[in-house]
Each structure stands twice: as C-alpha cells, then as structure tokens.
Structure 1
C-alpha cells in the first residue's frame, strides 16, 4: 500500500512538471541547509529530517521520490532506516558514509541502498547522482533490447518488461529499481561481458573515472544473485567474467 501511494505521488508530480521531492536525512543541520538550498535552486522540493525516527515519519507522510540518507544518526541509524523502507518501497536511496570507511558503504548497499557518497562530498556530484537515479526511476524507455516485449522466460524466471516485475517459480521477487535495471541490461545481451565501468555508466549513469570504487556494482550483483539463483556457489544466470566483469549466460524466450 505504501509503495502504491509513492508511485502515484511520483506520477502526479511528473505530470505537473515537478522535478521531484527529495528527503534529506542528516543530523548535521549545516549539511541539511546546504543541500536544501542547492536542490531547491535547481527545482526540487526538499524535506528534511534530523534523525532516523523523523526520517521514517517523513517518508510515510511526504512520499519522497528519492532519499539522501546519512549513516550515523541518533535514535535510529541509516542502516535501520534503510531496512525499514526496503520492506515497503523501492524508492532510490543514496547513503552518506564516513570517508574511507569501506564497511559502512558495503553494509548500506547490502541493505538495499542504490548508491553511496563519502563525506566530505561534492554537492555538485550528489546532484548528478540524484538526477541519474531519478531518470532511471521515472523514464520507462530504455535502450535495452528486451524492453516492452512482454513476458520473458528463462527456466522458472519470468520477467514482465512492461511492469518491470520479476517472478521466480510463480512468486514475485522484490527488486529495487537499480537491481531491475541491472538485470535488464545483462539479459538484453546474453553472453556479452560488461565491465564494472560499463555497468556503472549504463545503470548508474556516471563513469568509472568519477567513481573509482566499483564495489557498488559487485554488491548489487551479489544482491541480485541472492534473489535469482538457487545455488550461489554455482550460479546459472549471472556469471563473473574473469578479469572483466559480469554476463548473463542464458537466452530468454518470449512467452506466448
């Protein structure tokens, strides 16, 4: 029910020409002020929250299109907030983590965050990440070859490209928008190996030069495999290309 209301709110804002609503969650007032000022200058509606509990309340009340979420906060940290939101919504989440703390980044991604930035960060780069994720969420057109072809079938997997939904053995698998886009990219070109840099460009919308740490790709591949594969030690669908990246090794068929 919450996810449906979020999608409806997003659709109405798109029709009205609104660029979208951003929920900025950080216990540092200065960061919230800077981000609100900059994001509102370029056309976003910004809502603030100063701790985890306030963030969940604002999420339910405001139906944001994207969340910028700090990790270290009072009452409930960013991990807890991310977990709660992912139980009911695939709204894009960008986590803000401590500089050099790799564990923070990996944990956030494993819990369902779509991307992360380390503090101190460039507000301009954050704006670019926000644009990229919102474009992915709002734009249903894609260069993927399988887009809008109906239902694609690979063994017990079914991918409804119109609704962007995936089913395994008849049960729907909950994927975030980024996870679906990643699966769609790999399935569109079976057997083709994509480097991590190419995946960053195609799915996240920025180059490897801008984002030297490609763990974001590896963690999302791991999450996707955990939802699709029966045996993670011997994956059937998404394979690792040694020294290169990843590829989808099965060819999907149209369901008639």
Structure 2
C-alpha cells in the first residue's frame, strides 16, 4: 500500500477548503484526515441534501463527491451546486464504466476516480483542481485573445460562452478549458500528456482516460467533426472545410 504521508503543498494549493460528500463514514474520515494533514480545512457531509447545504455554506475550493448517496445521488448534488461558485468537483464512482463517467462529466464534474483509489493520487488530483480554480479566477493573460472565432465556432473568453452555428453550447468548466486549449492551436495535434498538463495541471500521464472522456463530451455538445483523433498521439481541433474565414 502506498504511503499516506503528506506531500509539500505549494502556495497555489495551500490553505485549500475541501468538502467531502461520502456516505461511507470510514472512507469520509480517512479522506478528511489525509487532507487535514496537508493543512487543508475539510468539511464532511454524508448524504445528498446535506452535501448541497455544506457546499453552499462552506464555499470550498474543491469537492470530493461520491456518486452513490442517500437522499439523492452525487449527480443531482453536482447539478444543484454548479452555479454556487467556482470550485472543482472530483467524483468518486464504484464502477469503472465510461457511460457513468460521461454522465458525471455532463453534470459538471471536473474529474473522477474509481474505488478503490490511491490516497496519494486523490491528493495530487485535488491539488491540481485547486490550482486550476485559482488560476481561472486570476486576471487573464494580457496577450490572450478575448474572442476566438474558427468557422462557425465562437468562444467568448470574457463571458466563457461558446456558440457553434449561432447555438450556445453549455459546457462544464473543464470542457470549456479543454476547448480553449485546442482552439488556441487549431489543426495542431496535442498529445494527451500535453492536454493533461495544460488543462488539468497534471505532470504525469495517469489520467489519459479523463482526456478521452472529456473529448467525447465535447463532441456530443459541439459536433463529432470538431475534434480529430490522432490514434496513439492525441487530439486536434479542426475547422470544417469551407467554414474558414
């Protein structure tokens, strides 16, 4: 078993506030103790309704959210809290089923892990989520374009709104960040590892399935022709032929 000793936290992820919504009390306490050892402040809820109330009152940087909860499930929790503020959501699932993962991503989850999981990896992913949340809340880069227009795809970075063919697409925060990353280099193949580092702020390749699942979600919302798969390498955003400005 991997060590659960704390790892040094950078200033970007120190003093984080985390809500753990998990009905298995032993698991919830184990996660809480591990995160507290990082110097983070943790609140725990054990069912859907109290999870929503805790998230609303605690104003976390990130949420660890189990899918199977009494009251109502974690998917419903995620639907209800997504408009309450800027925070990351990491879902815990009991099954390694891609359909379950896509549903979770569709309601606003940023990442997911299947049980049983490594506590070290859970902490690493939460640190990355916290860094992303704080990075997105900071002042945009001075040289970054405020609007990206590629054919009939329009990304307004000031309002974080995306339209294609005049129809607005409702993207989760991670889907939006992934789309922007691809759209800033249209036609360029970006490896899964590059995308993990640039979008998820991970420095290893343990989550390449996360990239694949988010790309599938983007295709479902914006059209299957928009993101091209380069097998064995990664993905590229393609402007459909005839739609170039």
Equivalent position to 1:47, from 19, 43, 50: 43
Show structure 2 runs of 5+ residues with no match.
1-12, 241-245
2:235 paired residue number: 246
Worse overlay, 87-96 or 219-228: 87-96
Equivalent position to 1:216, from 210, 230, 237: 210
Aligned length: 227
Which secondary structure does the structure 1 equivalent of 2:174 belong to?
A: helix
Q: TM-score, normalised by structure 1?
A: 0.75
Separation in 2 of the partners of 1:195 and 1:87?
A: 31
2:177 paired residue number: 181
Show structure 1 runs of 5+ residues with no match.
1-16, 252-256
1:201-246: per-residue Cα shift (whole Å, max 9, x none)? 33223356423xx3322221122233333xx4xx2x3222244331
2:3 paired residue number: none
Is the 1:178–1:203 Cα contact (8 Å) retained in structure 2? yes
Q: 1:219 to 1:189 in 2, by over 3 A?
A: same
Q: 1:147 to 1:227 in 2, by over 3 A?
A: farther
Which secondary structure does the structure 1 equivalent of 2:72 belong to?
A: coil
What's the RMSD between the two structures over aligned residues?
A: 3.1
Equivalent position to 1:152, from 143, 148, 152: 148
2:190 paired residue number: 194
Separation in 2 of the partners of 1:242 and 1:133?
A: 27
Separation in 1 of the partners of 2:167 and 2:125?
A: 32
Separation in 2 of the partners of 1:112 and 1:150?
A: 24
Separation in 2 of the partners of 1:163 and 1:32?
A: 36
Q: TM-score, normalised by structure 2?
A: 0.78
Worse overlay, 164-173 or 53-62: 164-173
Which secondary structure does the structure 2 equivalent of 1:226 belong to?
A: helix
Displacement after TM superposition at 1:189 (Å): 1.3
Is the 2:49–2:71 Cα contact (8 Å) retained in structure 1? yes
Which secondary structure does the structure 1 equivalent of 2:43 belong to?
A: strand
